[in-house]
Amino acid sequence: MEANNYCSTGSIMTIFIAENPLNYHAVAVSLPPMHPMINIAVRAARSAGNILLRYYEHTNTLTVTEKRKNEFVSEVDKAAEQAIIEVLQKSYPDHAILGEETGSHKGNDYQWVIDPLDGTTNYLHGQPQFSISIALKYQGQLEHGVIYDPLREEMFSATRGSGAFLNDRRIRVTQRKGLDGALIGTGFPYRDHSHLDAYMGMFRDMITDTAGIRRPGSAALDFAYVAAGRLDGFWELGLCEWDFAAGALLVNEAGGTVTDIGGGERFLESGNVIAGGFKTHAAMLQQIKPHLTESLKF
């Protein structure tokens, strides 16, 4: 499968190479002390959240530009990313950063992966479904992740090996046994329509065999909702690393499974992803399999 070429940052094109970013055996511990790096990520997410809330009632006054077809950015996205970077760099000046809006900042083996406003389209239309996503990788492996919904004051967080949390409460994926009765999240292709026919086939089969499909519009929050058991599963094609790096860790730490659309491990690279509880994920994989084209197979 080709690597996802659509994820350009605000500045430069970036290709992601990540071999199995979730390769570990999770040991669940309830309410471990917060790792200092998570505390900093939480602080950064709150700082960005304040900016998003400040402008949320006045989005009609924002200058919106189209980065590429159907991909919008405003000065709020940029200000929020700047606020996050300022907080992170104050504590960790040597860490590398990959931000949706400012691109790649070189550094040591730690890399922060930032989406300052996931769900920009919702935000600009005044729809209350958007979030901030911040992940930290060490040598390519996901270590920490936070996803913050500032409107609901919901802070989702996870540290590798320490479980997933919503505010200070432990969260878990659902134990559903398959697609029967399942509520599944997805994202529609909005920019690259080359896989539209394959996607529509998946969508049709998913509608037929589940209790319902949701398309809320912030992939980061969709992953957080899978982790919290609000969705049984999720799939989307063509995501960018910053949309779901934190979300993938959250789902894993909540006891779930995240793979590429073909079942492989290089989902951060392809951007084509399935996430869910173990059995729901397995059922989704089977449901999607007949619709995989050569270019979707890894």
Residues at the interface with ligand 2AM (CB under 6 A) = 70-71, 115, 117-121, 187, 190, 217-219, 236, 243
CB of 17 to Ca ion, least distance (A): 20
Q: Which is nearer to Ca ion, 28 or 62 (CB)?
A: 62
Please give the structure tokens belonging to residue 124: 């600009």
Q: Which is nearer to ligand 2AM, 101 or 253 (CB)?
A: 101
Name the binder of 218 from ligand 2AM, Ca ion, none, CB < 5-8 A by kind.
Answer: ligand 2AM
Name the binder of 70 from Ca ion, ligand 2AM, none, CB < 5-8 A by kind.
Answer: ligand 2AM
Name the binder of 265 from ligand 2AM, Ca ion, none, CB < 5-8 A by kind.
Answer: none
CB of 27 to Ca ion, least distance (A): 30
Q: Which is nearer to ligand 2AM, 80 or 88 (CB)?
A: 80
DSSP notation for 64-126: EEEEETTEEEEHHHHHHHHHHHHHHHHH-TT-EEEETTTEEE--SSEEEEEEEEETHHHHHTT
Question: Dihedral of the CA atoms 269, 271, 274, 277 (nearest 10)?
Answer: 70
CB of 46 to ligand 2AM, least distance (A): 18
CB of 132 to ligand 2AM, least distance (A): 10
Identify whether the C-beta of residue 150 lies closer than 8 Å to the C-beta of residue 159. no
Q: Which is nearer to ligand 2AM, 70 or 194 (CB)?
A: 70
Name the binder of 145 from ligand 2AM, Ca ion, none, CB < 5-8 A by kind.
Answer: none
CB of 243 to ligand 2AM, least distance (A): 4
CA gap 123, 118 in Å, rounded: 9
Name the binder of 119 from Ca ion, ligand 2AM, none, CB < 5-8 A by kind.
Answer: ligand 2AM
Name the binder of 121 from Ca ion, ligand 2AM, none, CB < 5-8 A by kind.
Answer: ligand 2AM
Measured CA distances, 244 to 113, 149, 200, 286 (Å): 10, 14, 22, 22
DSSP notation for 235-268: EESS--HHHHHHHHHHHHHTT-EEEETTS-S-HH
CA gap 104, 97 in Å, rounded: 6
Q: Which is nearer to ligand 2AM, 132 or 283 (CB)?
A: 132
Question: Which sign, positive or negative, has the C-alpha torsion 175, 179, 181, 184?
Answer: positive
Q: Which is nearer to ligand 2AM, 132 or 282 (CB)?
A: 132
Please give the structure tokens belonging to residue 135: 């992940």
User: Of the candidates 123, 93, 125, 119, which has an alpha carbon nearest to the alpha carbon of residue 108?
Assistant: 93
